[in-house]
Structure 1
Amino acid sequence: MRKTYLLIIFVLTCTLSASAQLKKAYVKDLAFMTGTWTLKHEWGDMEEFWGQPMGDNMVSTFRCVKNGKVVFYEFMAIEQSDSIPVMKLRHFNKGSIGWEDKDKPYLMPAVKIAANEVVFESLDKAVRITYKRINPLKMDCILDEKDKDGKWKKDVFNYALVKH
């Protein structure tokens, strides 16, 4: 009986601490992402620009170019909800052809914000994007995705700051 009681307390404590992890956060807490970030990757040359937080939002553009030709683009807006920042992401092929429906951006609420780090998670919990500022000139973007078999796949993008 005591083991069952301790197990219940442990599960409740973990659940409460996980849900309490991010009750209130603000877009301004993400200012560490600001800058123009680049890297050379097997997918192609990548550039991601993050503007300073302005009011209740911040925006980003991303492009991936291989052999001088665009692979794809992204536009990201992080907007303040009532309690937390939410990333709204859209992908585009060459010619500005969108992947997502025009009224359905890919939504990813922030699930963790710490000093120089934020984790966004898709509503279906199948994708996580982590931005982690390593030092003044380096920031990692970590993409964790479940594949069709439910196994996690991780891609790490080691960005270098070009300009702030």
Structure 2
Amino acid sequence: MIKSLCSLILLLSFNLLANKPFPNVLQLAPNQSSPTANLNAVKWMAGHWRGEAFGGITEEVWSAPLGGSMMGAFKLVVDNQISFYEIEAISELNGSLIFQLKHFAKDLKGWEEKDDTIDFPLVKVTPNKVYFNGLTLERVNNDEINIYVVIEDDGGKTEQKFNYKKVK
């Protein structure tokens, strides 16, 4: 009986771990509000960052906090050609934070509708991670960060990791 109970608990534990599809991102629960936070939680993002993803070189440049927001720009270069850009902002909103972005093709034509943005409300802040709904910023050290984001495509949803080193 005890052996069966232990086996069941072990099986349930493995199933719970297996059902956590995205280990580095969090989602807001239904009716959950974003916690109180300000830009001090993410000011370490300011700077010029470079890494590799999607078969190319990725780059992000973030401004220091000013006017209640931080401004960011992303680009992906594959085979020495621009693949796409993003304009990003982390803003203080209603006593919390929101991460917003818009995608642009290499000719700067927008992917989203004119007034639409992709919004990631804040879920949780820890000393080295800031969790937005489906996107996580992680400070590894002063010269390295990781960004995890859930991306949806024809094959379903996947978690993509972007590892960046500070450009000096």
Which aligned segments of 4 or more residues in structure 1 are displaced greater than 3 angstroms?
145-149
Does residue 116 of structure 1 match 2:134? no
- Secondary structure of 1:28's aligned partner: helix
Cα deviation 1:132-161 (Å, max 9, x = unaligned):
010121101111245667x64121111101
Q: Is the 8 A contact 1:43 1:64 kept in 2?
A: no
Identity %: 30
Alignment correspondent of 1:7: none
- Secondary structure of 1:97's aligned partner: coil
Distance 2:97 2:129 in 1: 13
* TM, length-normalised to structure 2: 0.75
Moved more, 26-35 or 94-103: 26-35
Distance 2:138 2:122 in 1: 13
Distance 2:157 2:108 in 1: 30
Residue type of the alignment partner of 2:55: W
- Structure 1 residues 145 and 94, CA gap change in structure 2 (3 angstroms): closer
Does residue 56 of structure 1 match 2:68? yes
Distance 1:102 1:44 in 2: 28
Q: Which has the higher contact order (CA 8 A, sep 6+)?
A: 2
- Structure 1 residues 73 and 147, CA gap change in structure 2 (3 angstroms): closer
- Structure 1 residues 134 and 53, CA gap change in structure 2 (3 angstroms): same
Residue from 89, 94, 100 that aligns with 1:82: 94
Alignment correspondent of 1:32: 44
- Structure 1 residues 69 and 131, CA gap change in structure 2 (3 angstroms): same
Residue type of the alignment partner of 2:66: M
Alignment correspondent of 1:10: none
Alignment correspondent of 1:13: none
Alignment correspondent of 1:139: 145
- Secondary structure of 2:76's aligned partner: strand
Cα deviation 1:3-33 (Å, max 9, x = unaligned):
xxxxxxxxxxxxx9xx58x521012321011
Two-structure CA RMSD over aligned residues (Å)? 2.3
Alignment correspondent of 2:158: 153
* TM, length-normalised to structure 1: 0.76
Alignment correspondent of 1:23: 35
Unmatched runs of 5 consecutive residues or more in structure 1: 1-15, 122-127
Alignment correspondent of 2:23: none
Alignment correspondent of 2:113: 101
- Secondary structure of 1:98's aligned partner: coil
Distance 2:118 2:100 in 1: 6
Distance 1:153 1:41 in 2: 14
Residue type of the alignment partner of 1:158: N
Unmatched runs of 5 consecutive residues or more in structure 2: 1-28
Distance 1:23 1:136 in 2: 25
Q: Is the 8 A contact 1:70 1:94 kept in 2?
A: yes
Q: Is the 8 A contact 1:30 1:116 kept in 2?
A: no
